[in-house]
Chains A and B, each alone.
Chain A
């Protein structure tokens, strides 16, 4: 089974900060990776698919990059509504979520 790791597990940031979250797969997954945002008590929301494609309706301050085993989610200028937990998900071979990265207010 493919294992996914994320770093950091949590971070504190201020509004306007540039935030970067990384995700690593235990084996190559091409670009079969998505990023999801989850707020407390809510279902996850798709932000990025195919590693770098922005889901319709998602603000352009979110971007994704990477291929193979290493991937990155970047928020160019953190907004108040972006404080949440972020998960990567591989769908190269079945599905595996990363453990999540909680972004909270500094």
Chain B
């Protein structure tokens, strides 16, 4: 079965760090760019960041709200994408989704994990 599974969420104090993982199975992970999307409880979706596949340079992009605090990386040998979150703020509280960017012709997020909840609170 093709799936993405996020892990690493939890309760963390403001100013601290947390690393989320997105483990892929059933797909050739290294062929795909990956992204993180978050959703504040009861609110809409917000794109967080993106990492291209190695074929496209493996480079990253971030939303302005997290740039300089969050870092996305990938380990293709383990089929895992990471979201390193530093200097966390209460407004970073959200469910974080990992998603695959399918980019053969047209691009779109076609595969999503179930999400992991991050709560930033003192």
Q: Which residues of A contact B (CB under 8 A)?
A: 1, 32, 34, 36, 38, 42-46, 49-50, 53, 55, 87, 89, 91, 94-100
| Contact sample, A vs B, 18 pairs, CB 8 Å cutoff | A32-B107, A43-B113, A44-B37, A45-B112, A46-B108, A46-B109, A49-B110, A55-B108, A55-B110, A87-B44, A87-B45, A89-B45, A89-B47, A94-B47, A95-B47, A97-B44, A97-B47, A100-B44
Contact, CB under 8 Å: B108 / A49: yes
What separation, in Å, do the CA atoms of A6 and B25 have in the docked complex?
34
Q: Which of B44, B63, B110 interacts with A46 by CB under 8 Å?
A: B110
Q: Which of B37, B44, B46, B61 interacts with A94 by CB under 8 Å?
A: B61
Contact, CB under 8 Å: A95 / B35: yes
Is B54's beta carbon under 8 Å from chain A?
A: no
Residues of A within 8 A of B114 (CB): 42-43
Contact, CB under 8 Å: B45 / A44: yes
Main secondary structure of the interface of B (DSSP, over half): strand
Number of A-B contacts (CB under 8 A): 56
Main secondary structure of the interface of A (DSSP, over half): loop
- With both chains docked as a complex, state the minimum distance between the C-beta of A57 and any C-beta of chain B, in angstroms: 11
- Of A36, A45, A87, A94, chain B has the most CB atoms within 10 Å of the CB of A94
What separation, in Å, do the CA atoms of A53 and B114 have in the docked complex?
25
Residues of B within 8 A of A43 (CB): 97, 112-115
What separation, in Å, do the CA atoms of A20 and B97 have in the docked complex?
27
Closest to B48 in A: A95
**Besides A55-B110, A97-B37, 11 other A-B contacts (C-beta < 8 A):** A34-B109, A45-B112, A46-B108, A49-B106, A49-B107, A89-B109, A91-B108, A94-B50, A94-B63, A98-B44, A99-B44
